[in-house]
Amino acid sequence: MTEVKKSICTWCKGECGVLVYVENSRLLKVEPDPDFPIKVYPPNEGCPRLLAAKEWFYHPDRLNYPLKRVGERGEGKWERISWDQALDEIGEKLKEIKEKYGPESIAATHGTEPRTVDIEFKARFFSVLGSPNIIGQATVCFAVRALMAEVICGMFPLYSVKPSSRCIVLLGCEPLVSRPKTAKIILDAKNKGAKLIVIDPRRTRSASMADIWLKLRPGTDAALLLGMINVIMKEELYDKHFVENWCYGFDELKERIKEYPLEKVEKITRVPANGIEEAARMYATNKPGVMIEGMGIEHLPNNAQALHARWILAALTGNIDVEGGEELTGPHPKMRKAELALMAVDDDWRKKQLGRERFRLFQVPGRQIIARCQKKVWCRPTGITQAHGPTLYRAILEGKPYPIKALITSDSNPMVTQANTKLVYKALKSPNLELYVVFDCFMTPSAMLADYVLPAASWLERPALWNFDDYAPYTLFGEAALPSCIPGEYDRKNEYDFWRGLGIRLGQQEYWPWENLEECYDWCVKEMNKTFKELVHDVRCELRTQEFKKYEKIDPNTGKLAGFATPTGKVELYSTVLEKLGYDPLPYYEEPTESPVSNPELAKKFPFVLITGGRTRPLFHSEWRNVKSVRRLHPYPLVQIHPETAKKLSIEEGDWVWIETLRGKVLQKATLFDGIDPDIVHAEHGWWYPELPPEEPWLYGVWLSNINVCTDDDPNNCNQQIGTWPLRTALCRIYKAAEVAKLFCGMTE
């Protein structure tokens, strides 16, 4: 008999409600749930991943049982063991390392949420252990945006664009490719007359349909936004009531903005002054307005300054906490999932967090200030603090400021997704790293270097409780569609069972009272007066009612206006948080350390600016290259080159070319694209070749087309407030590869 399970797909950022058809514990198919209230895909577009669900789930390369290394790291020799043996041996080694070097010598990496779904369990394990050293993609991803929003106005609005928005500004992102749910809303708003402004070095699909496209020089976003602020202030297009009553530091900002006249901004950005003026006026006079940032901002060495300026624009125009603008939702009042992380940021052991002294805003010092402010307004803080990735890999190699001796990678592939692949490789291979564990769905280049590789359950095999780290105005509930263990076929675990199993072996029993994930979720939703199972079947997707201008409401506990969750209670144009941490409290532009302007001599040898990371469907980061039906839709890594540049270099469409920086070189396939300037090239990220040999020196072809071989993670070149490494401003050269390159690249027929 066929059963239909109500699940939540987390294969990308769609967070789609799906129906999973199952018969005798076998997957038949997955379809979008027509009754799910959040509609994702725009008309006439669908998801190729769902069509490939059965192929993915029963892929011959799925990890099915725990594996233990029996040869050298990277040699590809394994023995199958039981979960009990794996957890016993890993737990015993972690105890030994903790006793000898301290708990801070144990660290973890994780991938992009919501794929991992429950980072809270990892955080809980490490909080009880006493190690502050979890790293992930947050430093170059979503958390950067959330952090700066919290610094300036106390809360992050999660893609709050609505059909009622009148002006939408896309900052370094392409939702039509990367955010299907957001894309649909943008198209709905545009059809109702909303204006669209796109700020991007590339002509994306969104740029092609925009009212204004500002094609700026990579890395100069902060200068462009400061120029827009200049126009709005000079022409008094700002919301005088909101600025006077709810903004802090207007006069100081007025002085700073004098440093950015449009003629100077035009010279920095290569965007004509009249284009900047037109965009500023359009944004200021079409309200409500909303901005959506993406990785084109997050990956910049001056992203904190750009995001600071972005929030000043929202504040000056009175677009904060209004319908169709920057809607500040706040944590769910009755859902306790965030509490699982046990994130008391004042704990003394957190002072040992790697990167804490240098990147103070993103690490514990900044999070402490933000958390105290959020507790006053929102009752509890949001966000999870993380250590600095590049600093951690150096600590493995150098033992400074203290040694890292154990690393657990869950649902991530740092050999492909972390900058400076050569350094990551040296760290993972180093004898200084006494234990390396990988918990994932497939074998990867990173897993090939592990001591233990453990099979992870997918979203199809586990229940889901998801509200985007407390930032979303919705909560999603989904059931496990398939068993995570079928004796004789596979035996996988979800994140909760994995971390609980390790925790119990390290004496954490009292902190893991729930026998399974569903029991844990029952505890999380207890105040919602339904069990988790009832919420899956009766609610499925809880859409919270929004209130606006909450800052004007009276707080019943104090009898005063609620205000914003900042030290001054106002939107801080002049940030007292930054000032207290020893940083400039106002935004400014700083030229990237590696650019034609800052290093003209280097530019003579490497004359092009390399930007990376633009999203490509149907792939998601470093995943899906092993699923043939999906891979056929995008079989090769592509580098976009302007036709004029290609002609000068004798490069034709489809040629394999070398992309070379100071750090290394890789092969990608040229595609001619006139939507970028001739001195810019764009390379895809996340590439490895699962069809190539897994053992060294191949490691699934990780060295061939992985653009992170070419990117920089030097802490001296990272953003000094946040620690973000630069992925959009490297200098490179590009040249045609020999025909023999084709023998080593591409999908096997």
CB count in 10 Å sphere of residue 703: 21
Chain segment 505-516, per-residue pLDDT in tens: 999 999 999 999
Q: How far apart are CA 114 and CA 111, in angstroms?
A: 9
Chain segment 199-246, per-residue pLDDT in tens: 999 999 999 999 999 999 999 999 999 999 999 999 999 999 999 999
Question: What is each CA distance from 580 to 184, 248, 743, in whole angstroms?
Answer: 41, 15, 56
Instruction: Please tell me what DSSP assigns to residue 116.
Output: S
What 3-state class would DSSP assign to 528?
Answer: helix
Is the model's pLDDT at 742 over the cut of 60?
Answer: no
* 117 band by pLDDT with thresholds 50, 70 and 90: low
Nearest to 314 by CA among 184, 148, 468: 148
Nearest to 242 by CA among 329, 147, 326, 144: 326
37 close to 541: Cβ distance less than 8 angstroms: yes
What 3-state class would DSSP assign to 388?
Answer: coil
Is the model's pLDDT at 172 over the cut of 60?
Answer: yes
Is the model's pLDDT at 78 over the cut of 80?
Answer: yes
Nearest to 428 by CA among 78, 720, 69: 69
Nearest to 150 by CA among 351, 385, 317: 385
Q: What integer pLDDT is reported at residue 748 of this predicted model?
A: 40
Q: What integer pLDDT is reported at residue 157 of this predicted model?
A: 87
Please give the backbone phi and psi of residue 190, each rounded to the nearest 5 degrees, phi first: -60, -40
Is the model's pLDDT at 295 over the cut of 80?
Answer: yes
Look at strands 571-572 and 247-248 and give their pairing.
parallel
Chain segment 659-670, per-residue pLDDT in tens: 999 999 999 999
Is the model's pLDDT at 743 over the cut of 60?
Answer: no
Token pair of 429 as six digits? 């291979």
Question: What is each CA distance from 673 to 32, 180, 497, 638, in whole angstroms?
Answer: 34, 24, 48, 11
Give every CB contact of residue 525 below 8 A, 6+ residues apart in sequence: 334, 335, 336, 465, 531, 532, 535
**Cis upstream peptide for 618 (omega within 30°):** yes
Q: What integer pLDDT is reported at residue 176 of this predicted model?
A: 86
Q: How would you classify residue 241: left for phi > 0, otherwise alpha for psi between -120 and 50, otherwise beta?
A: alpha
Question: What is each CA distance from 328 to 149, 153, 344, in whole angstroms?
Answer: 10, 9, 23
What integer is the mean pLDDT of 683-712? 97
Q: How far apart are CA 403 and CA 104, in angstroms?
A: 9
In the chain, the amino acid numbered 28 is L
Question: What is each CA distance from 194 to 292, 618, 625, 685, in whole angstroms?
Answer: 14, 28, 37, 32
Chain segment 571-614, per-residue pLDDT in tens: 999 999 999 999 999 999 999 999 999 999 999 999 999 999 88
**Number of helices and strands (H, E) in the chain?**
26, 27
Contacts of range 58-62, beta carbons closer than 8 Å, 24 or more positions apart: 58/27, 59/442, 59/626, 59/627, 61/442, 61/443, 61/626, 61/690, 62/441, 62/442, 62/455, 62/490
What integer is the mean pLDDT of 494-511? 97
Is the model's pLDDT at 380 over the cut of 60?
Answer: yes
Mean pLDDT estimate for the chain: 93
Strand order across the beta sheet in which 78-80 lies = 78-80, 67-69, 452-455, 435-440, 406-410, 106-110, 134-135
Is the model's pLDDT at 524 over the cut of 60?
Answer: yes
Q: Is 508 exposed, middle or buried (0-12, 13-18, 19+ CB in 10 A)?
A: middle
Nearest to 183 by CA among 289, 38, 283, 306: 38
Is the model's pLDDT at 741 over the cut of 80?
Answer: no
Beta bridge partners of 259: none
Contacts of range 738-747, beta carbons closer than 8 Å, 24 or more positions apart: 741/656, 741/667, 742/656, 744/667, 744/701, 744/704, 745/636, 745/656, 745/667, 745/669, 745/689, 745/701, 745/704, 745/705, 746/635, 746/636, 746/689, 747/628, 747/631, 747/632, 747/635, 747/636, 747/689, 747/691
Question: What is each CA distance from 623 to 411, 416, 445, in whole angstroms?
Answer: 11, 10, 12
Nearest to 268 by CA among 280, 279, 259: 259
When mean pLDDT is compared across 204-213, 551-560, 691-700, the lowest value belongs to: 551-560
Q: How far apart are CA 705 and CA 719, in angstroms?
A: 26
Token pair of 45 as six digits? 């577009």
What integer is the mean pLDDT of 408-426? 96
Is the model's pLDDT at 447 over the cut of 50?
Answer: yes
Look at strands 67-69 and 78-80 and give their pairing.
antiparallel
What integer is the mean pLDDT of 671-693? 97
Q: What percentage of the chain carries pLDDT values higher than 70?
A: 97
Q: What is the CA radius of gyration of the chain?
A: 25
Give every CB contact of residue 73 below 8 A, 6+ residues apart in sequence: 428, 429, 436, 448, 449, 450, 451
More confident site: 469 or 558: 558
Nearest to 498 by CA among 581, 414, 539, 441: 441
More confident site: 489 or 386: 489
* 749 band by pLDDT with thresholds 50, 70 and 90: very low
Q: What is the pTM of this model?
A: 0.95
**Cis upstream peptide for 48 (omega within 30°):** no
What 3-state class would DSSP assign to 146?
Answer: helix
What integer is the mean pLDDT of 685-703? 96
What integer is the mean pLDDT of 645-660? 97
Nearest to 146 by CA among 367, 296, 302: 367
Q: How far apart are CA 508 and CA 232, in angstroms?
A: 55
Alpha helices in 289-420 (DSSP H): 295-298, 303-316, 364-378, 389-398, 414-417
230 close to 223: Cβ distance less than 8 angstroms: no
More confident site: 12 or 602: 602
Q: What integer pLDDT is reported at residue 481 of this predicted model?
A: 97
Cα–chain center distance at 424 = 19
* 747 band by pLDDT with thresholds 50, 70 and 90: very low
Is the model's pLDDT at 545 over the cut of 90?
Answer: no
* 746 band by pLDDT with thresholds 50, 70 and 90: very low
Q: What integer pLDDT is reported at residue 494 of this predicted model?
A: 95
Nearest to 16 by CA among 7, 25, 24: 7
**Cis upstream peptide for 114 (omega within 30°):** yes
What integer is the mean pLDDT of 350-374? 92
Q: How far apart are CA 503 and CA 482, in angstroms?
A: 26
